[in-house]
Amino acid sequence: MEVKPTVQLPSSPYIESHNPQIDEISPPTVRLLLKSIKRLSPPVDGSFVSVYLEISSPIEVFGPFNLDSSNEALLNIERCLQISLTLTLCQSINSGAREFINRQTVSITDVTSMTPLVFLGVNDVSYTLNYEILPGGCASAL
């Protein structure tokens, strides 16, 4: 019986060993914690603001998250990120209809920079989304 060698790739938290005889390589995954979201400018009239976050792969809608007096809301949403996720941000003013703010597709490369994601909307409405990469990786993509 012939034993096929396993090659160890350069050290990275997102790359695992690979057998070169296997045609399909699973893309790396990271566990991503969406921590909080902050509106960068308060409503001028003191309106009550809630936000909704839609995450693709599979599509799920989270919210409403009510902004506190510092215009921030804790999210505490954990997802596995495999290649990319599309995030759609909407807001609701005074419990009214949802208004689309913006959509972003984020990749593993984007999140490893640890730079907060910025959602630029119309009428100078902008939000920052803070996140962290959790240790341990993902057993499977969610």
Which sequence spans correspond to the domains of the chain? 29-133
Q: Which fold has domain 29-133?
A: Immunoglobulin-like (2.60.40)
Write the CB contacts of 23 (distance below 8 Å, at least 6 apart in sequence). Answer: none
Quickly state the pLDDT bin for 75 (edges 50, 70, 90). Answer: very high
d(CA 65, CA 74) in angstroms, rounded, equals 8
Res 79 pLDDT > 80: yes
pLDDT at 63 (0 to 100): 94
Task: Give dist(CA 42, CA 136) in Å, integer.
Answer: 37
DSSP E strands: which ranges in the chain? 29-39, 49-55, 60-66, 72-82, 84-93, 98-107, 117-120, 126-134
φ and ψ of 110, to 5 deg: -60, -50
The whole model's pTM is what? Answer: 0.73
Q: Which residue has the higher pLDDT, 11 or 129?
A: 129
